[in-house]
Amino acid sequence: MFKGSIVALITPFRDGKVDEKAFQDFVEWQINQGTHGLVPVGTTGESPTLSHEEHRLVVSLTMEVAKGRVPVIAGTGSNSTEEAIALTRHAKQIGADAALVVTPYYNKPSQEGLYQHYKAIHDAVDIPIIIYNIPARSVIDMSVATMARLAKLPNIVGVKDATADLARPLRTRTEISADFCQLSGEDATATAFLAQGGVGCISVTANVAPALCAQMQNAWAEGNMAEMARIRDLLMPLHHAMFVETSPAPVKYAASLLGKSSPDVRLPLVPCSEPGQAIVRDAMAKVGLI
């Protein structure tokens, strides 16, 4: 259903507001570069500090540009189940192909609470749902057993796995099925994730190296392991640089070097520091982006 290089889109700002033109130009560039799918208003898109109006705007702007050429997986998660349902309903109404729903952060639900949260969204909105499991940010970790239970619901179709546990996709594959769409949420282990049963990556690095990220996924799909390994090794310094400070500050700085966005982020995040900028510039130069 969803596979390959799927970009976790940044949200460009200008004068404190969403830069609508820059964002839509950026989405068009992503598609032209070969990106296989789009995720607006995820963590990389600064969803925690977008208003609900801005959240809906960014998803709508994405849909206007994509026009069915690549799938759009709208970020609709929240630690409030009712809020997640409302955002997911909007995604469904404007024609998004799926919703990416993060595990509820801060309030630390139990495994039963996680199940009931996703089931409530599933029952309220008829749209494919991808679970976003990222313990480093949300504190909780959805177990394979809970995920297998959720996968029995017809519209729970996959997971964005940001655990960095490379045993997890194989365990999930054996517990659920090969049809369950497993997408890596960690650029640095994207190819290893493929070898363990994954089908793609929701990528931060693809914001600034979309063609290379797509080509790496294409090489894997075509069985060209030499080309896949070449790109994998080339991109590694860039993967590191994108998280040298709290994301998305480094990737927005990198995008600014390409003329795609301002480097601005919203408080409580701050722009990438001068030492961080130097690491980003060096990595981009090594990859040949600047």
What percent of the chain lies above the pLDDT cut of 70? Answer: 100
Which pLDDT value is given to residue 14? 96
Q: Is 160 a catalytic residue?
A: yes
pLDDT digits (tens, 9 = 90+) for 143-156: 999 999 999 999 99
Residue 1, pLDDT above cutoff 90? no
Q: Is 118 a catalytic residue?
A: no
Structural domain boundaries of the chain?
A: 4-224
- Residue 199 pairs in a beta bridge with none
Residue 234, pLDDT above cutoff 90? yes
Q: Which of 160, 252, 253, 260 is catalytic?
A: 160
> Which CATH number applies to 4-224?
3.20.20.70
Q: Which of 3, 115, 118, 132 is catalytic?
A: 132
Q: How confident is the model at residue 206 (pLDDT cuts 50, 70, 90)?
A: very high
pTM for this structure?
A: 0.97
